[in-house]
Structure 1
Amino acid sequence: MTDRSKDAPERLYMHVARRLQQSIRLGHYPVNSRLPSEREIADAYGVSRPTIREATIVLELRGLVEMRHRAGVYVIATEPEEVESNLADNVGPFEVTEARRLFEGEAAALAAGTIEQAELTELEDLLSQMAEDELDQSIRERADRDFHLTLARATRNEAIVSVVQTLWDKRYSSPLCAYLFSLAKQIGIQPPVEDHRRILAALQARDPEGARQAMRAHLTRVTESLYRATEHDARERTRLKMDERRHVFARRAGVSEPAE
């Protein structure tokens, strides 16, 4: 069997995660110390802030750090917990979304000149499913995926269809993507219907530049929603820890807490 680690280049976020993990192990960042800000680490490593966010999630999954709401990222251990071995073999969620923004923005522009009425009708039907609050979330998510794949097929370019489908599949096959998108789902982030309406309107108007910009704006908001998901997760864990401390102090003081 081929050793993929020797053949394939290391993912950028995994490279950053490995270097940060090494710094933690060497004591540059002791337990209970705060890591530098995302911007500071990004500047030091010459990478984007989304790459640092992905690296931080890897360290968090390994049990080395913890994101704390409005406080930053703190070291909680110097040796990693055992995690899925295929974590390094998959792209991160911000990488996937950045690639989608590039490919799907151009696909939307191309589709604006080639899309047929039957496909516009199909997109309208899928948009109606995304907007239907009564439908199960999984159905709405599938409608979101089908919307983008239908648009890709409207380009009449099978290579584009294959790329778009592969990028969507990464959302489910990559452990890091699955983890972060599940966080987004937990806090109620839904397929952004208004974004898709703007994309559809540009396609209906046969406006390539409008379709390109609408798609790019949509995927920029997806990136923003992923940031919100990680920040909400940190905030919720901070709240739970405060509640736990409150209960401990109340027990020590012999105070009966009111029923919730």
Structure 2
Amino acid sequence: METDSFAANLRLLCSTESSVSALCRRIGVNRQQFNKYLSGAARPSPANMRKIAVHFGVRQAEFLLPTEEFEAHPSVAGKLAGPQVPRPDGGGFYSAFRGQTLPLRRYLGYYLSYFLTQTWENSIVCALVCLDELDGLIRSRSLERSIDPDDGSLYLSKYDGRVAMLGNRIFVMEYQRLARDALVETVLHPVGRGQLQYLRGTTFGISSRQRLPFTSPVVWRYLDDFTSLRDAMRQVGRYDINSAKLDQRARSILLGAREANAEGFVMPGRPG
């Protein structure tokens, strides 16, 4: 990485922040060390580089670009342009997803999403979710892949969506991209004040296989130890509800939510 280009590109992105001190607090980087990055006196460690890249929604490799090219890059140009003015034909519902870059910036990255399903008895499905920025909007992309324990059939679902933060809650609206016959809404909030490791909430919509309304508690675990997409994909699939391979915090939250709802109604579960 060319240190001069990196420092200039980082300064350019920091110009969109309210202050460097607030930025350092949000991403968990020492302010004095960050100043060395800005001046070109030092380069970030791999861990800090990932924090910076995720926060700004810019790929690490893009920091290699010459400053003029970096400034014109689609993932950067939208940030520098500031909030977009809604077009006359894009108001109402669509306006909820504009201007979300700042409130949702700290949530960008990869997650494992856990939810209960009745497609298979006593099962939890783990999906992979990515939140990133595209053309000034926060985008969600989800992948579910499960193998039927009875006949070995593979079930694959891909979702594309948009994300908004309204009233301290994260709303994710997704479209089933392969079957093209289902919309899913997920509402999330942090587990515990001020921490981002786990987001919990509810997911609901119309099952693409059974065409029945469904609802299920859901937990998203942030992959702060994310190393590669291949490693994350190995964790996607169906798990027995008592499997030791499950994230035990996520499992505990799901089972607690299920017990709390047991007397009110039966949750048919999101398709697995």
TM-score (norm 2): 0.28
TM-score (norm 1): 0.29
More strand per residue: 2
Structure with higher Rg: it is: 1
More helix per residue: 1
Q: Which has the higher contact order (CA 8 A, sep 6+)?
A: 1
